[in-house]
Amino acid sequence: MENVEVFDSPGKGRGLRATKELWAGDVLFSEPSFAAVIFDSLADHVCHSCFRRQQKLQRCGQCKFAQYCDRTCQRAAWDEHKQECAAIKTYGKVPNENIRLAARVLWRLDKLGGVVSDMQLTTLEDLEDHIADMPEDDLKELKVDIHNFLDYWPRNSKQHNTDTISHVFGVINCNGFTVSDQRGLQAVGVGIFPNLCLVNHDCWPNCTVILNHGSQSAVNTMFHSQRRVELRALGKISPGEELTVSYVDYLNVSDERKRLLKQQYFFDCTCEHCTNKTKDDLKMAGQVVDGVEVPNEQVKEMTEYSLKMIEMMEKARFDGNYHEVVKICRECVEKQEKVLADTHIYQLRMWSTLSEVLAYLQFFGEAATYARKMVDGYMKLYHPNNAQLGMATMRAGVTHWQAGQIEVAHGMICKAYAILLVTHGPTHPITKDLEAMRMQTEMELRMFQQNEYVYHSMREAALKNQPMSMMAEPVEEGIKNLFRRK
């Protein structure tokens, strides 16, 4: 680990700092998962080996639970799955994802010990579990999980005391990292990455974390080292500077971020942006009409109204009632735009959802309008190299392309590509897709500038045969929090 070292961070405990000068897009380290599992809700839709979403999967003939793309994936996963397979058969049912992950962690610890490579900077035993900080309700859930784990854990495996088991569950609870599918568009599982757990939080960080499924490493290939996280620099980092990532989405006001961090990760955030409430005014701002600000009371009323509408919208989206989602969003946006600023986070939330769902329903022109407003607002709030900004800009670029607005589409795709080169790197599947899209839209833009009629005629013919597809069904918000909590 030539780029980083462990040190005692004042007020934070252990942390990582840079050992040499780094620049935007540099990879500080890459780390395979110690153990990882698919979410319970997606167990039938995602390969348990490569974490790729597939329509047709082959089920394990023994446990009838694990599913794979093909025999290649099944063979690759066998060393990791074989003890789990026998345990599920004996137990008679499939335990929840926390229990399955805890078991995989302990089986690996029993086989290889706490340090599995020279690149590992800490052991699971040394990671914080924060069990002493858990509220009563979480402790009750923990006791239930431990009870069920003991029923599930095979008698022929090494037996562990409840303190060891509790510690593993505690580490999973506060350090489980969401693992995305092969293209990085949806969270499909949870894993443990020991080195990543050493990186402390800052609401305006100097690094970002991305999951980049690559080829298997020569080290411990039997344990799926292709599930790797990369810690990447967002800008210049000086030698000795602490490395930080954001555990929660910056698109929350400081008090809400502090509440989430205290509730989920058991610490009080004292970063500069929380202390100074940086950009909170923009995130809750009112509209300015003819140089006159909308009264604060009116902004407050609209903010409360927006919260209620967001709850209604989320329920309709969860139920898959997308036409109802559009109806709710349109009604809300019509009122918001007269009162709230274009950086107000509840208006941005509505624009984001409305553009996503309208694109899914193929109302591309209207979707593009809201997507552009969303990106304009995001650019005033997010770090210039924020991954969420890059993904949102990419989605807006695709939506404008689908709407036939090639000039704006190409500009947004170029902006998204520049951001994702930093946050995801040139080899990530999303970045590769964006590079192909950038080249395609550049070619189309030249054609459009030469002859608009010919361009639109060729575009219509191409759309019937091979539409550009980068949009998933809008089932949930994208991955916003770094670490996963139940």
CATH number for 34: 2.170.270.10
Residue 52, classed as helix, strand or coil, is: coil
Is 241 found in the same domain as 129?
yes
Could you give the angle at the alpha carbon of 391 between the alpha carbons of 386 and 332, nearest 5°? 100
In a domain, 486, yes or no: no
Is 342 found in the same domain as 229?
no
Domain that holds residue 406: 382-478
Is 448 found in the same domain as 300?
no
Return the structure tokens found at 170: 């505690």
In a domain, 270, yes or no: no
**How do the pLDDT tens digits run along the chain, 486 residues long?**
799 999 999 989 999 999 999 999 999 999 999 999 999 999 999 999 988 888 899 999 999 999 999 999 999 999 989 999 999 999 999 999 999 999 999 999 999 888 878 889 999 999 999 999 999 999 999 999 999 999 999 999 999 999 999 999 999 998 899 888 777 778 899 999 999 999 999 999 999 999 876 543 333 333 444 578 899 999 999 999 999 999 999 999 999 999 999 998 999 999 999 999 999 999 999 999 888 999 999 999 999 999 999 999 999 999 999 999 999 999 999 999 999 999 999 999 999 999 999 999 999 999 999 999 999 999 999 999 999 999 999 999 999 999 999 999 999 999 999 999 999 999 998 999 999 999 999 999 998 999 888 887 877 776 666 545 444 455 444 444 545 544
Is 367 found in the same domain as 424?
no
Is 72 found in the same domain as 186?
yes
Q: How many domains, in total, are found in the chain?
A: 3
By residue count, the chain amounts to: 486
Pairing of strands 200-201, 244-245: parallel
Is 320 found in the same domain as 418?
no
DSSP state for residue 340 in the 8-state scheme: B
CATH number for 360: 1.25.40.10
Q: What are the strands, taking DSSP E only, across 318-463?
A: none
Give the predicted TM-score (pTM) of the model.
Answer: 0.88
**Alpha helix stretches (DSSP H) within 286-321:** 296-318
For the chain, how long is the longest CA-to-CA vector?
Answer: 76
In a domain, 268, yes or no: no
Asked whether the beta carbons of 309 and 349 are under 8 A apart, the reply is no
